[in-house]
Amino acid sequence: MSRRLLVVGAHSADFVWRAGGAIAAATRAGGVAQVVALSYGERGESGELWKVEGQTVDNVKQSRHAEAEKAASALGAEFVALDFGDYPLEIGEERLGRVVDTVRAFAPDVIVTHTDTDPFNPDHPVAHHAVVRARTLAAGAGVQSGFPTIAPPALFLFEPHQPELCNFTPTTFVDITEVILAKREAMAAMASQVYLQTYYDERAGHRANHARRASGRSEIRYAEAFQRVLPQVVAEL
């Protein structure tokens, strides 16, 4: 069955570091993936680009868009930018409506986004609350409604940079061993944040160690960690 995966980040590179492997695994298995950036991270997440003399916000946005499209392509996904601005990312009623419309139009089986806490990044919790609310509004209350609804997507949080400070407890590991080269290609595309590439490559190795211990599958060399938010409904255990 083709799965529809929607990954929503506060900034245009968030999907690459934290869910790039899961995206590539989904599309390689025949699924469809869309990555949505609420902002480009043009002000607070584009350090290399701001080293250029005479740099402008518009030029940074163009560079970040090109990087994200290239990264998404490497993972087999579509990139969508809502361009809400960053540091601070602010989402009022009109912008929330755009997020709801995006979720409803794609009708994902799974949504992945940020944790509700991040003491080092003011935009990540804002993205979390907007996505959680948008998901609920797009799906409705599970009854006939006066507006179009979608089937309630499963909700996961991807791993933050420092999980122990962000209310993150991994409940799910995705084996990304077979797609690690695609993730590395996507990370390399984000030239404005080269300082994160080594960290997240190493993190995939750390999480593979945890995945091996949890599953006994010795062949897992790289993995990504996620936290399931809502109960899973199954026919049997």
Spans of all domains in the chain: 4-228
pLDDT value of residue 1:
54
Spatial neighbors of 78 by CB under 8 A, at least 6 apart, are 33, 34, 35, 72
Question: Whose CA is closest to 189, among 32, 74, 91?
Answer: 74
> Other C-beta atoms within 10 Å of 194: how many?
12
Residue identified by tokens 């601070």 is 88
Predicted structure pTM score: 0.96
d(CA 164, CA 170): 10
Written as six digits, the tokens of 230 are: 């809502």
**Per-residue pLDDT tens digits of the chain, which is 237 residues long:** 579 999 999 999 999 999 999 999 999 999 999 999 999 999 999 989 999 999 999 999 999 999 999 999 999 999 999 999 999 999 999 999 999 999 999 999 999 999 999 999 999 999 999 999 999 999 998 777 888 899 999 999 999 999 999 999 999 999 999 999 999 999 999 999 988 999 999 999 999 999 999 999 999 999 999 999 999 999 999
For strand 4-9 and strand 32-37, is the pairing parallel, antiparallel, or unpaired? parallel
Instruction: Pick one of 3.20.20.10, 3.40.50.1100, 3.30.505.50, 3.40.50.10320 as the CATH number of 4-228.
Output: 3.40.50.10320
- In angstroms, how far is the first alpha carbon of the chain from the final one? 21
pLDDT value of residue 147:
85
pLDDT value of residue 144:
77
pLDDT value of residue 194:
87
Cβ(7)–Cβ(113) under 8 Å? Answer: yes
